Amino acid sequence: MNVDAQSVRRLLGDNATVDHPLAALTTYRVGGPAAVFVRADEEEQLSRVAEFAALHSLPVLVIGRGSNMLVSDRGFAGIVVQLGDFASNVEVVVDEALVVTGAAVLLPVLARRTAAAGLTGFEWAVGVPGTIGGAVRMNAGGHGSDMKASLTGARLFDWRDGSLREVAVADLELRFRGSAIGDDRVVLGARLGLATGDRDTCEATIEEIVRWRRENQPGGQNAGSVFVNPVPGEVTAGRLIDECGLRGLRIGTASVSTKHANFIQADEGGRSEDVVAVMSHVRRVVADKTGHVMRTEVRLVGFSDTHDFDDARSVPFADGGDDAR
């Protein structure tokens, strides 16, 4: 892609840059740069991004907290968009137990805010280090609940034609850790229907979840659970990995956590290729020994070889210079 920084800023705004590092924008904190990066503080910027992407035949990737994403060491040959101020508002209507939220709002922040308002049903999200937008797209969940339990609708922007649509929850086709929302659309906001509860009880639940996660899950550079549980509620990925003797496995600068086997840790200054090598090895060994072919929760970005992972979770590196797709 031959577009200089000045041209990018002229077309996309002053908060657009080229060759922008992505590692610090993900919880793995590894990976290369984006060809173009835009922080969209105004909704109107998205239409300009869509036009620019079509003009230069570039893929568009939206990044929130970067907590479920692994960027390749050579980066992403396209446009990375981070939603800013316009997608950061929250309205809590206590009398109706209704929440209207922007996609850039952090899940733990919203969980604490709704609990403080005496609304119950979203406490589970306090331990998920992501944003509303990503949570809707993948139907994030934990502690016996998920987005589908409270989501009533979402506002989507379509990169293909620049249209905005209010979409009913049924049309999102939410499933266990997935939905019908592909790379051609991005979540801008969501509506949640919660229930009236007791504030003290809600906040106590929040603190219990925080305590449990602190005691049972590792900190550091990781993306949370790597693999989807093969049989939700019955067969967990962590147990299978553990039973295959893979806890603590290391390849280069990445390793299976010794605290929770479904977490993969990246070393400071580590390589994405090592992380995906651990993922691939673990998946292969578990499949060979147990017959369970585990699906990854982690979105692979910029990899020319997706290592046989589910294509729906991968965004390949776009080779091809000015005609990159």
Q: Which residues contact 198 (CB under 8 A, 6 or more apart)?
A: 118, 120
- The string of DSSP codes covering 143-168 is TTEEGGGTEEEEEEEETTT--EEEEE
Pick the catalytic residue from 297, 299, 313, 314.
297
Burial class (CB in 10 A: 0-12, 13-18, 19+), 60: buried
214 is catalytic: no
Q: Which helix (H) or strand (E) holds 138?
A: helix 132-138
199 is catalytic: no
Pick the catalytic residue from 67, 179, 225, 257.
225
Closest CA to 92 of 229, 217, 171, 194: 194
- Cα dist from 243 to 236, 247, 261, 265, whole Å: 11, 9, 10, 19
Distance CA(103)–CA(105), nearest Å, equals 6
Pick the catalytic residue from 65, 177, 271, 299.
177
How many other C-beta atoms are found inside a 10 Å radius of the C-beta of residue 95?
Answer: 6
Q: Which residues contact 289 (CB under 8 A, 6 or more apart)?
A: 244
177 is catalytic: yes
Distance CA(122)–CA(13), nearest Å, equals 36
Strand order in the sheet with 254-256: 250-251, 254-256, 264-266
Distance CA(181)–CA(173), nearest Å, equals 8
Pair of tokens at residue 98: 């209704």
Catalytic residue IDs:
177, 225, 297
